[in-house]
A and B are shown apart, each in its own frame.
Chain A
Amino acid sequence: MTSTILCRTSRQNHQILVYVIRNSSSTSNQTSIRWKRLAYQIGGGLLTTGALGYAWAHSQAVHASGNKAHLVSLPWSFQGPFDSLDHASVRRGFEVYKQVCAACHSLRFVAYRHLVGVTHTEEEAKTLAAQDQIEDGPDDKGNMFKRPGKLTDYLPSPYPNDNAAKDGNAGALPPDLSLITLGRTDGCNYIFNLLTGYQDPPAGVKGEPNLHYNPYFSGGWIAMPKQLYDDQIEYSDGTKASESQLAKDVTEFLKWTAERDHDDRKRLAIKAILIFAPLAVLSYHWKRVKWATLKSRKIAFYRPKAKDE
């Protein structure tokens, strides 16, 4: 057995008490530690595989007892971890919202200033805001008044409150769309499927008053009638406004309203990876350096020599 003395401690009379020795050959104790470590690694591996397998199996559930049709997954332009929103689509989606959805649905958490640099230039957004009448006040006499919108205003809601909204829609409340893609399971696919999913009810299913059949809506009957039709609006960039194009664009716009940080977040992800990847390598190396002596040493104890010897 070859060993190297790494360091030693001594008492006042310079007698050596403890040697720390780098040991080159393995002992039985080290072998058992090695087996133990292997057992932990195999166990941990099995546990991780099991957990991931369970999660995967759970995600593959058929939902056979659900009361709505399965969603079709669409190849969204923002699907990947570094893919931005398609801003041309977001802009067209805003036009769809403004001309179709805004008649009933509010967008309370979006202000005109948010549109700047995302769907409109600053000038366009100012023009857009000035075209809407925003309620402001109270004035000197305590009355609310209407004035043209400014960049800092939020988009006006079609109804003053929920009760008015229900009253105007046969008792059904059109939900606020600001966060709708996060508020529904698989939000983007759900909205696209819902908007394009209107159809005649299956034979034998009795119609409901004021409700419309849509298999993608929970229960199958939805208060909102079919809204999107081919060539319903005219896009400002000349794209043909087919029904599915309208639905896709408005979904992409609603994805943006729910996650206005979307593009910044993905841009920042690249920066975080660029910074943390070298740091991870460095910290691993540092750990190995610091542990090298600790892991390869052996401590031997010697009885000090008696004084009279």
Chain B
Amino acid sequence: MSSVTKTIYNLFFRRSATIALSVVVGVFAYERLIDKTADYMFERRNQGKLWKHVQSQFKMPTDEEEESSE
């Protein structure tokens, strides 16, 4: 365990340049992870209710319907 910690320390934390770089990369990766996870959860919960899920059932009739109503 301690050797792993040591390796991590030597690789990322020891020099300012590496820690700054790993913070920048880490923030980007974390943001993507949270974003994708949240979107997945939201769309999983609301399956069949969002516009991209129901769009197809309206597609063709719309144009005819709107034009005939005018």
Contacts and interface: CB of A to CB of B under 8 A. Distances in A.
Interface stretch (A7-15, A154-162, A263-271): A263-271
A86 B51 CA distance: 8
Contacts of B67: 127, 131
Contact of A121 (B46, B55, B70): B55
Interface in B34-70: 34-35, 37-39, 41-42, 45-46, 49-51, 53-55, 57-59, 61-63, 65-67, 69-70
Nearest to A116: B51
A88 interface: yes
B49 A84 contact: yes
A270 B69 contact: no
B38 A77 contact: no
Nearest to A119: B51
Contacts of B53: 87
Interface string A103-127: 0000000000000011111001001
Interface in A183-235: 234
Interface size class of A (residues with CB under 8 A): 20 to 34
Contact of A83 (B46, B59, B70): B46
A128 interface: yes
Contact of B38 (A88, A263, A270): A270
Nearest to A124: B62
B57 A131 contact: no
Contacts of A84: 42, 45-46, 49-50
Contact of B49 (A86, A98, A131, A275): A86
Nearest to B55: A121
Contact of B45 (A82, A117, A275): A82
A84 B57 CA distance: 18
B37 A88 contact: no
Contact of B35 (A95, A119, A236, A271): A271
A99 interface: yes
Interface in A261-309: 263, 266-267, 270-271, 274-275
Contacts of A121: 55, 59
Contact of A267 (B39, B49, B51): B39
Which 7 A-B pairs give the minimum distances between C-beta atoms?
A: A84-B46, A88-B54, A236-B61, A270-B38, A271-B38, A87-B51, A236-B65
7 contacts: A82-B42, A84-B50, A87-B51, A91-B58, A121-B55, A238-B61, A267-B38
